[in-house]
């Protein structure tokens, strides 16, 4: 994704936040400037999730760079804590409004960016969440850790997101004892 304008920097930061935190689009849309904060030498994101839950997620270095580049370009570095982090764009001017993006705005933006990248229309912001969860499970990250990252109360919910292909091997069929 290019980074030639304030809107493209915002979009890149939103998509990266979706991918690298496994957050829901609604939680990303409600982020405020104060949701991104530095705790010692680590940047953190505070998400307000559905059901009144909240989570704190450490920010990986490349996401940190994307967020800070967007924040600096948008002039949000010293903005009040309650200022929306991801703001809507004013028509096709490339300028941002003072208004927070709603979840529908995040979804439309992601669809537009996916189309621009030539990816399938069936993908959505939720696809990033599913992909991140599956990727971590493929890497052998314990289910309980992935469950905490995803904000799931029950590991069965996290398992529903697992899209790893379970291959049927010859070893399996050789075990049939009939």
CA dihedral of residues 47, 48, 54, 60 (deg, nearest 10): -10
Is-contact 94 8, C-beta < 8 A?
A: no
Domain-by-domain residue ranges, the chain?
Answer: 6-117
Superfamily grouping for domain 6-117: Intergrase catalytic core (1.10.443.10)
pLDDT tier at 168 (50, 70, 90 boundaries)? low
CB-count burial class (<10 Å; 0-12, 13-18, 19+) for 130: middle
Between vectors from CA 20 to CA 81 and to CA 79, what angle results, nearest 5°? 15
List, for residues 12-71, the tens digit of each pLDDT value. 999 999 999 999 999 999 999 999 999 989 999 999 887 788 899 999 999 999 999 999
Res 87 pLDDT > 90: yes
CA 32 to chain centre: 15
List, for residues 123-167, the tens digit of each pLDDT value. 888 899 999 999 999 899 999 999 999 988 898 988 888 877 666
Res 170 pLDDT > 80: no
Q: Over range 95-109, report the average pLDDT.
A: 94
Is-contact 86 15, C-beta < 8 A?
A: no
Helix (H) / strand (E) element for 115: namely helix 103-116
């Amino acid at each position: 994704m290019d980074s030639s304008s304030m809107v493209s920097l915002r979009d890149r930061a939103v998509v990266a936040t979706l991918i690298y935190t496994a957050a829901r689009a609604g939680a990303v849309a409600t982020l405020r400037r104060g949701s991104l904060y530095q705790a010692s030498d680590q940047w953190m994101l505070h998400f307000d999730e559905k059901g009144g839950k909240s989570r704190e997620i450490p920010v990986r270095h490349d996401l940190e760079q994307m967020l800070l580049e967007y924040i600096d370009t948008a002039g949000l570095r010293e903005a009040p804590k309650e200022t929306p982090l991801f703001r809507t764009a004013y028509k096709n001017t490339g300028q941002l409004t003072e208004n927070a993006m709603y979840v529908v705005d995040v979804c439309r933006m992601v669809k537009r960016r996916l189309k621009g990248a030539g990816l399938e229309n069936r993908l959505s912001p939720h696809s990033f969440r599913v992909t991140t969860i599956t990727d971590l499970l493929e890497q052998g990250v314990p289910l309980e850790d992935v469950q905490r990252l995803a904000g799931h109360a029950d590991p069965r919910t996290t398992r529903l997101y697992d899209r790893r292909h379970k291959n049927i091997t010859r070893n399996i069929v050789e075990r049939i004892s009939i």
